[in-house]
Chain A
Amino acid sequence: MFSLGDLPLSERIVFVAFLAFVFLFPWIVRSSYPRAVMINFLLFAMYGLGWNLIGGYGGQVDLGQAKNVGFGAYTTALMMTWLDVPFWFTVPVGMFFATLESFAVAYPMFRLRGHYFAIATLCVALVWQQLFLFWDWTGGARGVELPIKPIPNFTYMQFGAIGSHYFIFGLFMAQFLFMNWFRKSKLGYELQAVRDNEDAAASLGINVTWTKVKAYLITAAMGALGGSFYAVYHSYIDPRSIMHIDLTILIAMTAMVGGCGSMWGPIIGAALLIPLDMYLAALLGGRGFYGVDFMIYGFIIMIVAAFEPRGIWGTIERARRRS
C-alpha cells in the first residue's frame, strides 16, 4: 500500500540516501543553527506535501494554508496551557477544528474558480489572522507561551534539538507515506482528473465539487498537524508567525518551486527555499538589509513562472524524457 515500487529505481535510491542523510544529520552536524535549519526544512517539506494535495494534485491555488497551521498551533498551545493535556490529545482536536472551519467555507469557495478561488482563500485566511490578533482570549497579539516542561518530555513532546529532529522526521515520514498512498488511491486519481478536465471528470461519475472539498479538508488537517508541531517546538506562538500570509506564500512556494503534483516537488522546494530563507535572513537582517530576502523570493517565483511552471521537478522529468 505504501510501496514506492511504481517509481524508477534511481528515484528510490536517491530517496533512501536522502532519508539516511536526514536520519544521521544530528550526529554529523553538531552546531545548533544548521540543526534548526534542518528541522525547519522538514517542517516545511511537510507543509508543502500537504499543500501539494490541493494545490498540485487538485490544481486549486489555495492561499489560506496558514490559517490551518494556525488552528493546529493554537489548539495545541491553548489546550496545553489551559487544560494541561498531553500533546497527542490536542493533535486530533486541532485537525478537527481546521477541518470543520474548512468545511464551513469550502462550498461557497468552490463555486469560484482559478484566480477568484485563490483570492477567496486568501481573504478567509486574512480574516482569521485579524481575529486572532484582536481576540483577548487567545492572547491577542502577545501570543501564547507554552508552559516549559522538563526536557525531554514525551507527554508534552518537548525536546532538545536532537529529540525535535526525530520528532519532526517521524511526522514528515508519516505524511510522506500518506501522500504516497493518496496519489495512487481512488480519491487521488479522481482529484487529478478534476484538475485536468472537470467536464471529463464529471462524465466519468466524479462529483467535481465534492472531490475538491474532500481534498481541501485533508489539506487543512495536514496543515494543522504541522502547526501542532510548531507550537511545541517553539514553545511560543503568535498570529504573526503562524497565521501570517508570509507563511502561506512560503508553503505554496515550496510546492510550486519544487514542482506541483509530484512526490518530490515539495521536498526539493523546501530544501532550496528554507536554507536560503534562514541564511539570507540571518545574513542580511544582521546587516540591516531587511526585506532583501523577499526580493530574492520574488525573483525566484518570476523565473519559475516564466521558464518552468512545473517547477524544478518538471525540469528534471523533461530532461530525463529527452535522454
Chain B
Amino acid sequence: MNQGVSGAQLRGQEGEVELMLLAVKNLYKEFGGLIANADISVDLDQGEIVGLIGPNGAGKTTLFNCIAGYYKPSSGMVLFQGVDITGWPAHRVAKIGIARTFQNLRIMPLLTVEENVMVGAFCRAGDRQIALREAREILELVDLAQEAHVHPTELPIVSQKRIELARALATKPKFLMLDEVAAGLNPFETKEIIQSLQKIKEEKDLTLFLTEHVMEFIMTISERVIVMAAGRKIAEGKPEQVAREDKVIRAYLGERYAEGR
C-alpha cells in the first residue's frame, strides 16, 4: 500500500521505536455524514520539514485543526512528544509547543504589528518588557521591523502572512504548522519566504508541517511529502518519488490523464 517511507524508516529501523515529535494515529474526523479525515496516521520527527498536499477538499486543513485543537477528532489519537493531546483545547496545544498559522488570515486588526507579535510572546513571557523585546527580535527576523507600529490592515497580504508567521514564532514553538503560507504570493515572494523559513527553522530548531497548493513551494522546501485525497492519506515519501506515483497523479489530474500516460 504505502510505497513511501516515513522519517523513522529513513533513519533506519534498528532497535526500539524512536519517540516521534508528533504522531497522529488512525485519526478520523466526521462532520455529520461527511468523513473529512479517514484513518490518517502521520509521524513527524524532530527537525523535519514535511509537506502535506492534496486537491481542494482533501482534508488537509481539517487535519491541522484536529492536531491544533480546533476540532475534536471523532476517533484516533494525537501524540506530541509522547503526550496524548487528543481533544485538547487550542490554547493548551499552543502552550505545549505547537504553533500554527491560518489559511484565511486571522490578524488582530486593532492592534499594531508589534502588538500582534507581543501577544504571541506573552504565551511564555509574563512581563511586558520581555514580550516587547522578543517581539522586536522576531520582527527583525521576518523583515517587518520597519512596520512595527503600523496597523496590519494597512499592509499588503504578503506582510500580513509574515505577521502571522512572526506571531506563531513568538510563542516559541517546537512544532510549527503553516497552512498555505505561500498562497497568493508571486514566484519571487515564494522564493523569499522559502529562504526565510529555512533560515528560521535552523535558527529556532523547529519542525515544520506545511500544506500548500503551490507545488513549486512545497516540492522545494519539503524533505518528505504526504499526499491526501478525499480525506485519506494516499501516498507518502520524498517529493520527487511522490510526484511520480500514479495514485497522486490520478488524484490531481483525474483518471483519464493517468491512464493516457
Contacts and interface: CB of A to CB of B under 8 A. Distances in A.
B111 A202 contact: no
Contacts, number: 82
Contacts of A197: 106-108
B94 A202 contact: yes
Interface stretch (B30-38, B77-85, B114-122): B114-122
Nearest to A1: B128
Interface residues of B, number: 32
Nearest to A206: B91
Contact of A199 (B106, B168, B170): B106
B106 A192 contact: no
B120 A204 contact: yes
B252 interface: no
B110 A261 contact: yes
A204 B119 contact: yes
A206 B90 CA distance: 8
A115 interface: no
A185 B127 CA distance: 8
Interface string A167-207: 00000000000000000111001101101110111111111
Contacts of B123: 204-206
Interface string B101-112: 010001111110
A191 to B, nearest CB: 10
Interface residues of A toward B: which range?
A: 20 to 34
A208 interface: yes
B215 to A, nearest CB: 27
B109 A196 contact: yes
B242 interface: no
A186 B126 contact: yes
Contacts of A196: 107-111
Contacts of A205: 91, 94-95, 123, 171
Contact of A189 (B94, B99, B106, B118): B118
Interface of A is mostly: helix
A197 B119 CA distance: 12
Contact of A201 (B109, B118, B119, B131): B119
B89 interface: yes
Nearest to A192: B111
A203 B99 contact: yes
Contact of A200 (B107, B115, B125, B170): B107
A201 to B, nearest CB: 7
Contacts of B90: 199, 202-203
B157 to A, nearest CB: 16
Given A205-B94, A208-B91, A199 B70 contact: yes
B29 interface: no
B161 interface: no
Interface in A193-237: 193, 195-197, 199-208
A67 to B, nearest CB: 28
A189 B168 CA distance: 16
A157 to B, nearest CB: 34
A190 B171 CA distance: 13
B108 A193 contact: yes
Interface string A74-101: 0000000000000000000000000000
A193 B106 contact: no
B167 interface: yes
Given A192-B111, A193-B111, A200-B108, A186 B122 contact: yes
Given A184-B128, A190-B122, A208-B91, A203 B111 contact: no
A186 B128 contact: yes
A207 B123 CA distance: 10
Contacts of B95: 205
Interface in B107-155: 107-111, 115, 118-120, 122-123, 125-128, 131
Nearest to A59: B110
B100 interface: yes
A132 B68 CA distance: 47
Nearest to B168: A203
A186 B122 CA distance: 7
A232 B118 CA distance: 43
Contacts of A189: 111, 115, 118-119, 122, 131
Contacts of B109: 196
Contact of B91 (A184, A186, A195, A207): A207
Nearest to A201: B119
Interface string B163-187: 0000110110000000000000000
B91 A185 contact: no
Nearest to A189: B119
14 contacts: A189-B111, A190-B119, A193-B108, A196-B111, A199-B90, A200-B107, A200-B108, A201-B91, A202-B69, A202-B94, A203-B90, A203-B99, A204-B91, A205-B94
Given A193-B108, A193-B111, A203-B90, 9 more contacts: A186-B125, A192-B111, A192-B115, A196-B109, A199-B90, A200-B107, A201-B108, A202-B91, A207-B91
Q: Which 7 A-B pairs give the minimum distances between C-beta atoms?
A: A196-B108, A205-B94, A205-B123, A202-B90, A200-B106, A193-B119, A207-B91
Interface of A: 184-186, 189-190, 192-193, 195-197, 199-208, 261
